[in-house]
Structure 1
């Protein structure tokens, strides 16, 4: 793995302990920061990506920028939902309280947070992430980030993160295990206006959805499989998805496969 973990300069004991924990969990080298710059550490260890543990948690420094847990667009989307506004993902899933969602590509966890808020205390959201560092950052943030709105904080805490490839997880599930199975693969065509996604591209698994994984998803889902993609690509056509939802002027579309298991 092209990664080391270090700390801010002059770290507290808690910061250093978290850095050592991350190094142990991810099985990557821990390097005492001392007075080295990040450029010096990159040169010394011939790596591109560095996890820097701060008093506010871990931050991954990539060549594309900094990656750390934040609510991203989830906060605005939840606010809109509270105010009765439309959310395209929620509509594509036909999501309501008490439902269960398997997010096969957790990433920033934005969609999982929105889903968890909607399904509420009686629902269930499990997020799968094949990248060890992304899974760790997501899980750390979901368990430690506190929002002013208690319902949002509780939505974060309810999400279960599994560090695994979706296909490996899906094949071991019984049929009809989740109401919704959701895919948000790394877009083949980047949305260049989204600076939040740029660092993620240096860490994420950028493989497209395998047809075998989609077959398993249709077996596992009780109600529907939903795939998030950008406009003007052939992913829906490649996967045989013909029902497309989304805003008329949005760059994002949702492909829906209704299942009848």
Structure 2
């Protein structure tokens, strides 16, 4: 994938310098933005995507898609949790204040924000994201985000690494919970944000070997997010589920660690 960094057409010295810093951070070319469209810039310079530095955000664009960091549905779910509602992701993880969780498929940190709110400042969330562009987008987004209470997020750590490699380096019982949200095999075509993300996501499925490694690293349980009727959770030895009952609804499979 060929990608370069540039700015909006109405750039200034601050945006240009920020783009140059990103160019060095990600080791990708910097293109001075002329008065050209994204499409023309991509075609003329033969890139697949442009990482565009805007005034308040960083956006990954190509001819027909736009991807940027945002909290998605996290804020809505956090409000529901604080109101005492039964939210499936909370029922499945059973996280408590002060707990630690490893989010092996961080993406844009939608679920990690929920975990962050539950475990609080005394807890910790570590997220691994194998794609360096998504990891960078997420890290910058979290650094500039304030939660529903107007506070900065300080308990989420973004790691640009595959979960296989990261898990292999962890000692036994390193985290209370290990969590996976693999890219769904049957995409939600109505979600423009997920469809934009799909090109950058790794589509490899989970294996029993990875599950066993996750069980070694966790203290309490492994949780896997999937869609009912479109998953291999039974083949992975998962028998306990939380979430929707209808075909295609979000579910969370749980494997408790046997001590």
Scaled by the length of structure 1, the TM-score of the pair is 0.94
Structure 1 residues 199 and 33, CA gap change in structure 2 (3 angstroms): same
Deviations 1:24-47 (A, max 9, x none): 121111111111211111111222
Q: Output the CA distance in 2 between the equivalents of 1:135 and 1:149.
A: 25
Point out 4+ residue stretches in structure 1 off by more than 4 angstroms: none
Give the aligned partner of residue 115 of structure 2: 115
- 5 Å-filtered alignment, 1:174-193, equals 174-193=171-190
Give the aligned partner of residue 205 of structure 1: 202
Work out the number of aligned pairs and report it.
258
C-alpha RMSD of matched pairs (Å): 1.5
Q: Output the CA distance in 2 between the equivalents of 1:204 and 1:47.
A: 19
Q: Output the CA distance in 1 between the equivalents of 2:50 and 2:235.
A: 36
Scaled by the length of structure 2, the TM-score of the pair is 0.94
Stretches of structure 2 lacking an aligned partner (at least 5 in a row): none
Q: Output the CA distance in 1 between the equivalents of 2:224 and 2:63.
A: 29
Q: Output the CA distance in 1 between the equivalents of 2:7 and 2:59.
A: 10
How much has 1:148 moved relative to structure 2? 5.3
Stretches of structure 1 lacking an aligned partner (at least 5 in a row): none
Q: Output the CA distance in 1 between the equivalents of 2:207 and 2:17.
A: 39
Give the aligned partner of residue 51 of structure 1: 51
Tell me if the contact between 1:63 and 1:202 (Cα under 8 Å) persists in the aligned partners. Answer: no
Tell me if the contact between 1:130 and 1:163 (Cα under 8 Å) persists in the aligned partners. Answer: yes
Structure 1 residues 182 and 81, CA gap change in structure 2 (3 angstroms): same
